[in-house]
Amino acid sequence: MTPNDIAAKLTGLATKYHIRDVTLLAGRLLMSFIFLHEGVTLATHFDGAAKAMAAQGVGLPLFVATIALQLGAGLSVATGLLTRLGGIGLGLFCLSTALLFHVNFANQNELLHFEKDLAISGGMFVLAAVGAGTLSLDWLLARYLEKRRRDKEMVNALLAVENQFSLEVRLPV
């Protein structure tokens, strides 16, 4: 595929979907991948990972909660369902990980992990601020609920009109 072909496909995609929403989808998928991958890795190698985390002072309940957060909030961000909540959760998780585990700045690797966690945290907070965009389950759910609300209002209006014009027949007894 030539660069012109790629540009033509991207232009077509940009005209079909708003470029902001395509960018938000790509960003959500890229940011969620690290959490989904890590969550699956920890879950599939549970015993060894639990021992390694215990050596770092992380107890089993917190370790299980970490796996649940990475998988649950990772899926939330990837699918765009409750994206703001998932973004806040993962942003706080990265911020706390940076501040609790990567503070030995004399070690270049620790400094790199500290900076990486801060950057991911910032990205998650930005995502929480702007939302998932239209290419998300949040957007689809909001449209569905809005349609249900309008349908309910229409039914109530029709019932009100019907009640105004209904004849009350009383039989003499």
Task: Give the pLDDT of residue 19.
Answer: 82
What is the number of alpha carbons within 13 Å of residue 138 lying toward its C-beta?
A: 23
pTM: 0.79
Residue that has been written with the tokens 């959760």 in this structure = 89
pLDDT recorded at residue 169? 61
Task: Quote the pLDDT of residue 61.
Answer: 96
Q: What is the largest CA-CA distance in the chain?
A: 99
Report the pLDDT value the prediction gives residue 73, as an integer from 0 to 100.
98
Q: Residue 164 has what pLDDT? A: 73
DSSP letters along the chain, please? --HHHHHHHHHHHHHHS-HHHHHHHHHHHHHHHHHHHHHHHHHHTHHHHHHHHHHTT--HHHHHHHHHHHHHHHHHHHHTSSHHHHHHHHHHHHHHHHHHH---TTSHHHHHHHHHHHHHHHHHHHHHHH---SSSHHHHHHHHHHHHHHHHHHHHHHHHHHHHHPPP-----
Per-position pLDDT tens, the chain of length 173? 788 888 888 777 666 668 888 899 999 999 999 999 999 999 999 999 999 999 989 999 999 999 999 999 999 999 999 999 999 999 999 999 999 999 999 999 999 999 999 999 999 999 999 999 999 999 999 999 999 999 999 988 888 877 776 666 677 76
